[in-house]
A and B are shown apart, each in its own frame.
Chain A
Amino acid sequence: MTELWVEKYRPKRVADVVGNKESVDAFVKWMKQWELGRPPEKRAVLLYGPAGVGKTSLVLAYGKEHGYDVIEVNASDWRDEARMKAVVGESSLQATLDGSTRKIIVVDEVDGVAGREDAGGIAALSRIIDETRVPLALIANNPWDPKLAPIREKCLMLEFRRLRKAEVVKRLREIAEMEGVKVPDAVLEKLAEMSEGDLRSAINDFQAITGGRKIVDEKALEALGARNRVKEIFDALRMVFNAKSIRAARAALEGLEVDLDMIYTWILDNTPDQIPDPSDLADAFEALARADVMLARVNRRQEWRLMRYAIPVMTGGVALARRHKPSGFVKFTFPPRIRFLQSTSAERELRRSIAQKIAAKLHLSTSKALSQMLPYISFIMANDGGMGDAMARYFEFTASEVAYLRGGEVEKVEKAGARRRVSRRARKS
C-alpha cells in the first residue's frame, strides 16, 4: 500500500506547519515556559478550529523537533471519570526530573467527550489540568459547547482558522515537487478551493486524483466526485428537506451527478439535525429504512425498476416527516458517518489483521474472530496471568498488534518512537 501523503508530509518541524502563525507562535511560547522550568499559569492549551488545519500536526511537529514523547489519546470513546483519570491523569503526574524523556499529552476530540451523557469525564479532565506536571494539549472542533465551560477558562485558547487558499496551494505545490508529479496550477487551485481551507482533505484529494501517475491534468479532477460536488449536494439537501411535495423532493436529486449511496448518506446524517421533533424523526428514519430495503433489492436482485420507488420514498419520506422545523437555520453538515469511517480506519485495519490471524488458527471466519474471539484474547493478554506471551507467539501477532491487544482499546497506534500508546487499563492481578 502506498503511504498516505497526509502522514508522509505531516510537518516534522514547527516551521513546516502551514498557516495560523499567531496561534503557532503562542503555542511555542507556552511550551518554552515549560522548558524553562516555569510552568505557565494555564497548564493546558485548547487548540480549536475546523478539521485539517494543523492542530494535531503542530503538537506532533513540536514534539518531534524538540524530542518529546507525545502521548496521544483519543477522547472520543471515553466517557467516564475513572478512565479519564487512569489514562490522562496518571501520565500527567509523572514528570521526569532529568529531562530525558519529556512528555506532551494530547487529548484529541475533547468536544467528543462533552457530547456524551456524563460530564464526569470533563470534570476529571478539569482536575487533571489543575494538577498536571506536563504540558497538556486539548484539541476540539467546537470549543463553545457549554459542557466544555469548566475547562475553557483553565486553558490557553488558541484558535485555528481555515487556511487561506494560497497557503493550501503552496503546500500542495511542495508535495507535487517532492513526489515528482507534474500538475498545472489550475488543478492545485481548484483542489484548494474545494477543500475550503482544510489542508488534510486537499492533500487527500490530491493523492486520490494523482493515483500514482506522474502527470496530472484537469481531467483528473472529475474523478474526485464527492467533495467536488459538495456545493451541489448542499443545494439538493436544502431542496429535499424543504420540499412541500413528494414530487419536489424527488426533483431535488435530478441532474445531481453524485452517486446515490453518497447522497443517501448525506440525507441520513443530516436528518437528526434537521428534524428536531422525535416523532417526526422516527417517521423520517422509517422512510429512510424502507428506501434502504428497496435499494438492497435493487443491488441483490438487479431489480433496477425498483429504483424509482426508492428515491421518492427516501426524499419525500424525509420531507413529509418534517412537520416541525428547527427554530432558526440549521446548517447542513458533512456526514459524520464518513468522518467516523475515516478516523477509525487505522484501528479497523489493525483489528482486521488481528482477526485474520485468529481466524486462521481457530477454524473461524474473520468476522467471528473479530467479534467473538478478539475481546477475550485482548482481555487475556492484558491481564496475562502468564498466558500473554504464548498467545502472542501462537497467533504470530506483531509487536503493534500485541500492544493494541494489551492496551485494550486506545486507538492511535504509531510506530514512530515519539508517539506512544497508553494503556487504559492499568490493572494487573
Chain B
Amino acid sequence: MSLREVSMLPWVEKYRPKSLDEIVDQEEVVSSLKNILQTKAVPHMLFAGPPGVGKTATAHAFARDLFGPSYIDDGYFLEINASDERGIQTIREKVKMFARQIPMGEYSFKILFLDESDQLTDDAQHAFRRVMEQFSATCRFILAANYSNRIIEPIQSRCAVFRFKPLNKAHVIQYLKRIANNEGLEADDQAYEVIYDFSEGDMRKAINILQACASISKRIEEKTVYEVMGYVSRGEVRKILELALSGKFTDARDEVRRLLYVQGIMPSDLISAIYRELFYIDLDEGDKLELLDLLGEVDYRISEGATPEVQLMAFLARLAAKRRRT
C-alpha cells in the first residue's frame, strides 16, 4: 500500500491502537496485561465489555507487543469471529487445527483470538472447553464477549477475566480531536459532544460518525453530525412506533422486517432504540409502564432464542392497542 492509500484507510482501521500504550481509557486492563507481558506467563483470557471499547484492539495490541509487528504473518495469532462461525464445526476444525501446531519461531505458544465468543452455541462452548485444556501448551486463548454471562462457567473459570469499562466522554473526545487534527478537520465542541452522545461510548461508532462528517465537509458543526445521523439512523424506530400508534400495524410490521432483514439491524439494537423512544411517546404513564414491562419480556425472550421479528410484532400490536394521551 502506498502512503496515499494508507491515508485513505477507513479511520477505524487507520487509527486502531497498535500497541497497549495506545489503548484509551482502560488503565487497569492495560497495566495487568503489561505485567503479563513482562513475565511472559500468558493465561487464557476473557475480555468482557460493551462494543467499541477496545477489546479487539487490545487483543491485537497485546499480541503485537508480545510477538512483534509480524505477529500474524509469523503464525502466532489467529482471529476467528464466533458470530460468523458459531457452530461446533469451527471448534473441531479451525480452532483445533491452529491450536495443535507448535509454533516455529522463538515462542513456544501462540494466541487464538475468538471474538464475539458469546455467540458460540452451547455445544460449541463445551467442545471449546476441552480444546482449551488439551492444547494449552501450544496455544493460549483470548475470548472477547459483550456478555460474559453467556459464556459457560467452565470456560470462565479457565480464563483470567478482564472487564472493559465503557469509555468516558473526555477520552473519546480527546481521541476524536487527535484524529481530526491529523486529518486537517475543524470541528467545534458542540459537534464533539453530539458525536459522543450518538456513539454512546462506542469508539468505533464515534470514529465512523467523524469520518462520515468529513465526507461532507472539512468543517464539522453540530448540524453536520445531525445530517450524518439523519441518514444513518433516519429516525426509523420512532416512525415504527408512530405507525403502530396510528393503527397502521402492518406498515409498522413491514418496516420492522426491512430493518431486520435488509438493513441487518441487530434485534438488540432495535430493542434498545425502542426502549429509548418509549419514554417520550405520547401515552399515559400507566400504559408506558405496561409496555416497558412487555419490552423487557420481549428482550429476554429474544435472548433465549425466540424469533425477534415475532416478538417485536407482539410488542407493536400491544402498542397499537393503546390510545394516545388526550
B253 at the interface (CB under 8 A from A): yes
Question: Are B60 and A363 in contact, CB atoms less than 8 angstroms apart?
Answer: yes
Bound-state CA distance A372–B232 (Å) is 9
Pick the interface stretch among B32-40, B78-86, B95-103, B134-142.
B78-86
**Which residue of B51, B217, B320 contacts A429 across the interface (Cβ within 8 Å)?**
B217
**A115 and B12 contact, Cβ closer than 8 Å, known pairs A359-B81, A365-B119:** no
**Which residue of A268, A362, A365, A372 contacts B310 across the interface (Cβ within 8 Å)?**
A268
Question: Are B264 and A374 in contact, CB atoms less than 8 angstroms apart?
Answer: yes
Binary CB contact string for chain B from 21 to 34 against chain A (1 if under 8 A, 0 otherwise): 00000000000000
Interface residues on A, range: 35 or more
Bound-state CA distance A289–B308 (Å) is 10
Question: Are A286 and B251 in contact, CB atoms less than 8 angstroms apart?
Answer: no
Q: Report the minimal beta-carbon distance from A300 to chain B, rounded to whole angstroms.
A: 5
Listed residue (A77, A293, A336) with the most chain B CB atoms within 10 angstroms of its CB? A293
Scan residues 186-230 of chain B and give those whose CB is less than 8 A from a CB of chain A. 204-205, 208-209, 211-212, 214-217, 228
Q: Which residues of A contact B68 (CB under 8 A)?
A: none
Pick the interface stretch among A205-213, A229-237, A389-397.
A389-397
A1 at the interface (CB under 8 A from B): no
B266 at the interface (CB under 8 A from A): yes
Binary CB contact string for chain B from 89 to 129 against chain A (1 if under 8 A, 0 otherwise): 00000000000000000000000000110010000000000
A263 at the interface (CB under 8 A from B): no
Q: Which residues of A contact B320 (CB under 8 A)?
A: 278, 281-282
B306 at the interface (CB under 8 A from A): yes
Q: Which residues of B contact A115 (CB under 8 A)?
A: 250-251
Q: Report the minimal beta-carbon distance from B119 to chain A, rounded to whole angstroms.
A: 7
B301 at the interface (CB under 8 A from A): yes
Question: Are B317 and A365 in contact, CB atoms less than 8 angstroms apart?
Answer: no
B10 at the interface (CB under 8 A from A): yes
Known: A344-B258, A376-B211, A391-B8; 14 extra A-B contacts, CB below 8 A, are A115-B250, A268-B313, A282-B318, A289-B311, A293-B306, A351-B264, A361-B13, A363-B60, A366-B84, A367-B266, A368-B83, A370-B264, A373-B12, A387-B214
Instruction: List 25 A-B residue pairs with CB atoms under 8 Å apart, sorted by A's residue number.
Output: A115-B251, A268-B313, A278-B317, A278-B321, A282-B318, A282-B320, A284-B317, A288-B314, A289-B313, A292-B310, A337-B257, A340-B261, A359-B84, A365-B84, A365-B116, A365-B119, A368-B266, A372-B208, A374-B264, A376-B228, A377-B10, A385-B214, A390-B8, A390-B9, A429-B217
